[in-house]
Structure 1
């Protein structure tokens, strides 16, 4: 039996990407931090968004990062991680998707995928440096994708296509991972359909290509595994030593005679697999929090709100107490310690029937 962890999971926290806008209270760091604190959140996962953080300044100035942390502290929250999901996506984009991702980069790079990738790489590296200035040891985001259009092998994939795709993905990420290593910050990839890192097998393939890089880690989000019909509890058993971040996000999978896992042509509301607000889906969060606690995970539990039915306002309001209810205070002793007694080697040998 594993030793009990010393600290509970931190939380509740909330990922701000789905709430950021140009309308108050979602338009500035001070305003959105105050909004989150007012709902009972203790932490905010901050997207690298110019409304909230100047990443160029944050990468070079600890004083500036101290100011950001001070703004958050004054509102009653702290920054849990910096998110470069948007930028990480652009590190590797298949040409089929390039037009759709044009808006993810500055306008001057529109239609220029190589320039977009270079900009994105620089942004992700700077987010690692800013994380260190903020006193954080993990950043989160997406991997991008080169092989995703070929995920279902029809027509048959040419031999070596997947291998070369992951080799190229590794070539693009190695400088980023090395830069993160230089400042002592992990990068936790959110395993997500649409990214080449979408499940345990694809993560292992990537990890082999980056030679087991210690900074290549996982943002655990069970909702994506429900939609893939992957065992999200066994996943923790397999990869707990690489899980550095946690999105608390619910989902449900209701296959019918008309559709199953591949139902992406339908609207989110009408898909067999769809995201739900916390408690409205099928994810067994009691089991997840128990298993993460068992393995000593003591980082932040961060709500990511995405729901096909419920409003973001209601989802956010319900999320903080939901997470708080699931956080486990680890026990410092075994429940049957009361029945223990003092023993010595001689007594133990007698109990075993072994002669002295």
Structure 2
């Protein structure tokens, strides 16, 4: 320790780290026609009673939000924010997962994904894609009106049926698919840029953006667009056997949203990553409630703290075994226990001997 009375310049340790906000919960898996899940106010109160501080809102669910009105009316957005605050939570982000999926749909999935669209555009892929793009444009304005900084979506997929290279893919097939994907998304990304909101693609099997390599292919084609970012959900990396902690290091500057979801992967002599066409219960890889799977959340939350992530830790509940309301209740406590309150001082401040430039030069033997 420095001697008392020694003339040492006072050096203040400046903390630049940020504490993650949370816990929050994605409402998509809970919205229902039965109370308390059938209105925005009541589902917010339910979430707050479980200990959640924020709610992520699925923009396609009219029981919770009128997306077009939110894009057009600041008064309506103020009302929504006020309603959430009255119940003890705040809106963290909006989601357009279902609409984003429809921006790009391979014909093999036309009938399957038609159910995500309103009746007037079903059976018409071009009209459906235009409707989806318009929904994203509305979401950009609505997010801005709500004072939000990030938005969750899916990329959709044109190349997904060709994920496995058999039969051999024709030369240029994947490049053409990604060129078209970027063409469709570029005006949407520009709209989010104008709104001051990050557009975060959930890296997810079934989407053309399903891992780091595919995200980079897309990012290159949208010219490193500043609003082209990532919703990080480690569960989808477990099922693909991707090192999700290394992924966080590589893409730390693009990770703007986080879904906290658990998963397990237990390959055996009968099946692996592809799952053998089995149900979720029988698959080698399956989603689990928080704490019941294999995800290293201590490692994830440590990296989020170190990389100055100041967004929300949002529970996305999906589990083939546990009841959703049990998973939600346990999940709030689980996230709360894992959020790291970052330090406001260096742990070795007690040993600070102080310094100045002259001392530093003397200690290095480089003179005056």
Would the TM-score normalized by the shorter structure come out above 0.5? Answer: yes
- Provide, for residues 122-165 of structure 1, a one-character-per-residue CA deviation record: whole Å limited to 9, x for no partner: 01110110000000011111000000000000000000000000
SS at match of 1:187: strand
Matched with 1:26 is: 37
Q: Are residue 247 (structure 1) and residue 265 (structure 2) matched?
A: no
Question: What residue in structure 1 maps to residue 88 of structure 2?
Answer: 76
**What root-mean-square deviation, in Å, do the aligned CA atoms of Structure 1 and Structure 2 show?**
1.1
Of 5, 13, 36 in structure 1, the residue corresponding to residue 47 of structure 2 is 36
- 2:106 aligns with 94
User: Which position in structure 2 is the counterpart of 1:179?
Assistant: 191
Q: What SS does the corresponding residue of 1:119 show, helix, strand or coil?
A: helix
Indicate yes or no: 2:21 matched with 1:15. no
TM-score by length of 1: 0.97
Counterparts of 1:313 and 1:343, CA distance in 2? 56
2:26–2:57 Cα contact (<8 Å) kept: yes
Q: Check conservation: 2:17, 2:305, Cα contact below 8 A.
A: no
1:332 to 323, 344, 359: 344
* Structure with bigger gyration radius: 2
In the alignment, the residues of structure 1 paired with residue 158 and residue 99 of structure 2 have an alpha-carbon distance, to the nearest angstrom, of 15
Q: CA deviation at 1:350?
A: 3.2
- Structure with bigger helix share is 1
Deviations 1:73-109 (A, max 9, x none): 1111110000000000000000001100111010121
Whether the aligned pair in 2 keeps the contact of 1:12 and 1:300 (CA below 8 Å) is: yes
In the superposition, relative to structure 1, how do residues 23 and 168 fare at CA in structure 2: closer, same or farther (>3 Å)?
same
TM-score (norm 2): 0.94
The aligned runs of 1:146-161 (5 Å cut-off) are 146-161=158-173
Alpha-carbon separation, structure 1, partners of 2:87 and 2:358: 61
Q: Distance in 2 between matches of 1:21 and 1:211?
A: 41
Does the CA-based 8 Å contact 2:17-2:306 persist in structure 1? no
Deviation larger for 328-337 or 39-48 = 328-337
**Residue 170 (structure 1) aligns with:** 182
Cα 1:295–1:264, aligned 2, differ >3 Å: closer, same or farther? farther
Which structure 1 residue ranges, 5 or more long, are not aligned?
A: none
